[in-house]
Amino acid sequence: MDGMHYEGMIIRPPSEADSILLQVTLGCSHNKCAFCGAYKEKRFAIKDDSTIDADIDYASKNLPFMRRVFLIDGDALIIPQPRLVRILERIREKMPRVQRIGIYANAKGILRKTPEELAVLRDLGLGIVYFGLESGDAEVLRDMKKGHTPERMIEAGRRIREADMKLSVMVILGLAGPGRRSLEHAKATGEALTAIDPNYVGVLTLMLYPNTEVTNRVQAGEFKLLSPREMLQELREMLFHTNMTRGLFFANHASNYLPLRVKMPADKAKALESIDSALESNAPLKPEWMRGF
């Protein structure tokens, strides 16, 4: 064997850049979100044990110095508990130096696990869950085909926190389009983040990818993108309504116009001032051609 078995496009959070990427699922079990084109070419499947085992063996021999593993693809937490436990146990056995395992999860995958099951996964090294909330607004979640209500999203996020794992929540500016709905989406999202109280919030900006429903709607004139200024106003409203007891609120993804790294709650007021200053002065924002992954 001359490497790990990867199929299709591989996506990971920026913070997992120094992790071993172990592909345990293909695609996303939901794969209906109107804005997402990440896994359109893949039919969801859990990879077979022999392939996963071979990749763990390869990593243990060739990457013994690595301290973190990240399980891909889209929502690996959906894997039935016995199989997921087996994967984590094998990582622990073959790679004893690994200190933290991370995973993407959606609300369905989280809520299928009991608190007791999540505690077992935590004790086996699952230390951080990346969860796509996207919006706290019921209408936006419906329109974007997320498949869950804000209440269920909040319940899922809180279940991870109560299991004493780190939680990183992703939200997206621009999902409601411009006007009044934009600020309603921002306010509801801030309130949902407050209810979940995650360790990290990653704010992304809606970008258009080929063959997604949102892209088709924009091209048909049925959905409008926000201007950079409107994105900043939405970001300000979202941050204003986000009250975390600790943690970091990031808007420093390549898709954002104004990079922010806010230590909560201490830096919140200063961050709001910096957004206000950019809005008042029409400060230059990141040009369109520089945005992307």
SS3 of residue 230 by DSSP: helix
5 located within any domain: no
Tokens 């209440």 appear where? 151
Give the distance from CA 194 to its chain's centroid: 17
Total domains in the chain come to 1
42 located within any domain: yes
- Could you report the per-residue pLDDT of 192-242, keeping only the tens digit for each? 999 999 999 999 989 888 888 888 888 999 999 998 889 999 999 999 999
288 located within any domain: no
53 located within any domain: yes
- Could you report the per-residue pLDDT of 253-293, keeping only the tens digit for each? 555 667 889 999 999 999 999 899 888 876 555 555 444 44
Domain encompassing residue 68:
14-281
58 located within any domain: yes
Say which CATH number the domain at 97 has: 3.20.20.70
286 located within any domain: no
Confidence of residue 40 (pLDDT cuts 50, 70, 90): low
Specify which residues 248 forms β-bridges with.
200, 263
84: CB partners within 8 A, 6+ apart: 76, 77, 121
